[in-house]
């Protein structure tokens, strides 16, 4: 960014000039046409809401990314949306509570106090789809297909699809009895995949030996699914939750491999783990280490509104997609 631009725009906030803006608008139209053809209803959500409605359910993980201020009219605390998924969840729970399955799509700007990744955007133009009321793997595959189609419409070729499952880590941590602060340290180490630091932490932790061994293995369980998933069955405890998670990954990776997807499995990748409950996924460009899209399952969403139901979805940043095409 030039010194002149830096006078006007905060870090992580970009503007689009005519050529790029027209490309973004053309992509927006193609995406919405695609989502409509697949049966997803478009919602236009407000830029600002009462803070407590933005930070319930899926939104709790966004608390430190949300700008907040006091409403001069009501005196209540308001928040600027940092992600549109919680808004879609609220709408599904309160406006479509009687529907068996609800498919919603959205596209609009969000604002975050800090980027998700170093050098990332703080004001993405977020596009996404959410499917509520279907707990099946077919629903997850439908969302992954839509994510892949989104990348294809943006001109992204041969993306790498990274898959994980929150149930494995959640089951292992449930057996530890760790205090939240200690569990956060473990979580941070796993996200950095620092094996020496993990080994030191595990030696100092008062954990059952089987749990300690499983956590030590978890950080190395990443790579092609045909290698990682058999290794995980051998290395991890054969609990019902771990078995169900690995069964789901087996089924999804086989289905996606039949469709020619470029797949990678990472069992210690915990993006969105504070609210996701099952399969998680992200797409990367062939020449970029930055996520182009992400998603996963977050069952139970809507419970705070009296309408709990399974859910799965994805989102992507239009500006990031165009820059990577």
Domains of the chain, start order: 1-158+306-325 (3.30.930.10), 160-284 (3.30.930.10)
**CA dihedral (317, 318, 319, 324) positive or negative:** positive
| Chain centre to alpha carbon of residue 222 | 18
The contacts of residue 140 (CB under 8 Å, 6+ apart) are 252, 278, 279, 297, 312
pLDDT digits (tens, 9 = 90+) for 91-141: 999 999 889 999 999 999 999 999 877 778 899 999 999 999 999 999 999
Write down the pTM of the prediction.
0.92
Q: Can you give the pLDDT of all 325 residues of the chain as single tens digits?
A: 455 555 788 888 999 999 999 999 999 999 999 999 999 999 999 999 999 888 876 555 688 899 999 999 999 999 999 999 989 999 999 999 889 999 999 999 999 999 877 778 899 999 999 999 999 999 999 999 999 999 999 999 889 999 999 999 989 988 777 888 888 888 888 888 888 999 999 888 888 888 888 999 998 999 999 999 999 999 999 999 999 999 999 999 999 999 999 999 999 988 765 678 899 999 998 776 778 999 999 998 777 777 789 999 999 999 999 988 7
The candidate with the shortest Cα–Cα distance to 168, out of 230, 224, 249, is 249
Q: How far apart are CA 63 and CA 252, in angstroms?
A: 31
Q: Are 249 and 122 in contact (CB under 8 A)?
A: no
Q: Are 297 and 312 in contact (CB under 8 A)?
A: yes
Q: Are 54 and 81 in contact (CB under 8 A)?
A: yes
pLDDT digits (tens, 9 = 90+) for 51-95: 988 887 655 568 889 999 999 999 999 999 999 998 999 999 999
């Amino acid at each position: 960014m030039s010194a002149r631009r830096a006078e006007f725009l905060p870090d992580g906030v970009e503007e689009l000039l005519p050529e790029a803006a027209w490309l973004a608008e053309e992509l927006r139209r193609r995406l919405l046409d695609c989502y409509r053809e697949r049966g997803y209803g478009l919602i236009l959500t407000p830029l600002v809401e009462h803070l407590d409605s933005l930070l319930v359910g899926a939104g709790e993980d966004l608390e430190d990314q949300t700008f907040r201020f006091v409403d001069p009219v009501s005196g209540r605390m308001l928040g600027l949306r940092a992600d549109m998924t919680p808004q879609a969840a609220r709408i599904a729970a309160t406006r479509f509570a009687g529907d068996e399955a609800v498919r919603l799509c959205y596209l609009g700007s969000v604002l975050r106090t800090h980027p998700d990744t170093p050098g990332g955007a703080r004001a993405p133009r977020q596009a996404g789809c959410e499917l509520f009321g279907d707990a099946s793997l077919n629903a997850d595959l439908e969302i992954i297909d839509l994510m892949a189609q989104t990348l294809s419409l943006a001109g992204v070729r041969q993306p790498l699809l990274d898959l994980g499952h929150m149930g494995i880590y959640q089951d292992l941590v449930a057996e530890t009895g760790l205090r939240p602060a200690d569990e956060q340290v473990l979580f941070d180490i796993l996200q950095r995949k620092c094996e020496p630091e993990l080994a030191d932490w595990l030696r100092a932790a008062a954990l059952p030996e089987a749990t300690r061994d499983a956590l030590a293995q978890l950080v190395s369980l990443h790579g092609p699914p045909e290698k990682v998933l058999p290794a995980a069955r051998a290395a991890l405890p054969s609990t019902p939750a771990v078995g169900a998670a690995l069964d789901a990954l087996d089924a999804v990776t086989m289905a996606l491999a039949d469709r020619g997807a470029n797949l990678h499995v990472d069992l210690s990748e915990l993006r969105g783990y504070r609210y996701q409950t099952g399969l998680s996924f992200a797409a990367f460009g062939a020449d970029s280490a930055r996520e182009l899209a992400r998603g996963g399952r977050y069952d139970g969403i809507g419970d705070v509104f009296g309408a709990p139901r399974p859910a799965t979805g994805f989102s992507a940043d239009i500006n990031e997609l165009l820059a990577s095409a």
